Amino acid sequence: MPRIPRALVDEMLAHAREDMPNEACGVVHAKDGEAIAVIRVPNVSGDDGKGSPYRYLMDPKTQYELEVRRDDSGESLFAIYHSHVASEARPSPTDERQAFFPPGEFDRMPAYPGTLYILVSLRDAAPLDIRAWRVEQRLPGAERPVVTEEPIEIV
Amino acid sequence: MPVQVHVTSVIRNAVGGNREVSADGESVRAVLENIEVQYPGFRATVMDEAGELHRFVNIYLNDEDIRYLGGAETALKDGDQVSILPALAGG
């Protein structure tokens, strides 16, 4: 069961709340398998390069800088998180598509193999809902990829 | 003219699992075509059939997004570092 420190969970929840009404997004880095940092990434999915209540697109420059940071520091990509403003804390059909590269290529390996997708739902004011998922390539004959909830241990 | 191409995440599967590949070319497009020669099938992970870069691929030349340079036609020089990343996005 993936373990996530309470402070990191609180940071994701705070980020989700602060970015209302838009979706918040970011990553969780791990070192030696332990989640150690939540890093907020600007959501630039809107037409004006600002956020959107319906989509997220991580700022490519920040994403690139984080890639360099991981290479330099030995940190790994533990999770990709984002918020759902008005729907539940599970991957949407768009989330499923974007978990693959090119998007929607469900027969390939996921774009970030082994990385958790953490969803925060703001649908009901309190308590905030946070859940983690794995998205994996679809099984023969299936239409959608395999999406499995991964219970997280908050430590 | 060799440049180093840094490949991330699942795109590594299209280049034999390598993090870095060496490729020749005078432009980003030429380098991508050269990688295709080395690793057949690579091109389809970053470009559509018309040769346009996929919307959800980010390519960096020495810390600059090529969208703000010359796109796929951006000229390269010896020793340049190119990085290829899938966008992180969803709904």
Q: pLDDT (tens digit, 9 = 90+) per residue, A38-53?
A: 999 999 998 888 899 9
CA separation for the pair A103, A90 (Å, rounded): 18
Q: What is the mean pLDDT of residues B37-58?
A: 94
3-state percent helix, strand, coil for chain A, nearest multiple of 5 = 20, 35, 45
Please, what is the end-to-end C-alpha distance for chain B in angstroms?
A: 41
Residues A119-130: tens digit of each pLDDT: 999 997 666 799
Condensed to tens digits (0 to 9), the pLDDT of residues A68-98 reads: 899 899 999 999 999 999 999 999 999 999 9
Residue A149 CA to residue A90 CA, distance in Å, equals 8
Give B1→chain A minimum CA distance, Å: 24
Q: Please state the rounded mean pLDDT for residues B25-51.
A: 95
Q: Read off the pLDDT of each residue in B16-33 and give the average, rounded to a whole number.
A: 96
Where in chain B are the domains? 2-86
Residue A80, pLDDT score: 98
Gap between the Cα atoms of B57 and B64, Å rounded: 14
Chain B residues touching chain A at CB-CB below 8 Å: 8-11, 13, 45, 54, 56-58, 60, 63, 65, 83, 85-91
Are the beta carbons of A64 and B10 separated by less than 8 Å? no
Report d(CA A29, CA A7) in Å as an integer: 14
Predicted local distance difference test score (pLDDT) of residue B72: 96
Q: Say how many C-beta atoms besides its own lie within 10 A of residue A75's C-beta.
A: 19
Strands (E), chain A: 3-4, 25-31, 34-41, 56-57, 76-84, 116-121, 129-136, 146-149, 153-154
Given a cut of 90, is residue A146 above it in pLDDT? yes
* Gap from B57 CA to chain A (nearest CA, Å): 8
Contact A110, A136 (CB under 8 A): yes
Nearest to B88 among A63, A93, A109 (CB): A63
How confident is the model over A90-109, as pLDDT tens digits? 999 999 999 999 899 999 88
Q: Which residue has the tokens 């995440």?
A: B9
Confidence check: pLDDT of A10 > 90: yes
Residues of B in contact with A27 (CB under 8 A): 88
Query: What is the average per-residue pLDDT within A129-145?
Result: 96
| A55/B90 Cβ within 8 A | yes
Mean pLDDT of chain B: 94
Stretch (H or E) spanning B57: strand B57-61
Nearest chain A residue to B67 by CA: give it. Answer: A60
Does residue A17 carry a pLDDT above 80?
A: yes
The pLDDT, as a whole number, for residue A126 is 61
**Nearest alpha-carbon partner for B89 in A113, A138, A56, A107:** A56
Residues in chain A, overall count:
155
- Calculate ∠ Cα A6-A121-A139, nearest 5°: 100
Task: Inform me whether the pLDDT recorded for A59 exceeds 80.
Answer: yes
Distance CA A138, CA A146 (A): 5
From A55's Cα to the closest Cα of chain B, the distance in A is 4
Contact A31, A135 (CB under 8 A): no
Please, what are the domains in chain A?
A: 3-154 (3.40.140.10)
CA nearest to B90 within chain A: A95
Residues in chain B: 91
Decide: helix, strand or coil at residue A28: strand
CATH fold for the domain made of B2-86: Ubiquitin-like (UB roll) (3.10.20)
Which strand (E) or helix (H) includes residue A96?
helix A93-98
Contact between A22 and A53 (Cβ < 8 Å): yes
Proportion of chain B above pLDDT 70, given as a percent:
100
Q: What pLDDT score was predicted for residue A125?
A: 62
The pLDDT, as a whole number, for residue A128 is 74
Average pLDDT over residues B49-68: 93
Distance between B14 CA and the closest CA of chain A, angstroms = 11
- The partner residue sitting opposite A60, judged by closest CB among B10, B54, B58, is B58
Question: For residue B9, what pLDDT is reported?
Answer: 87
pLDDT at B88: 96
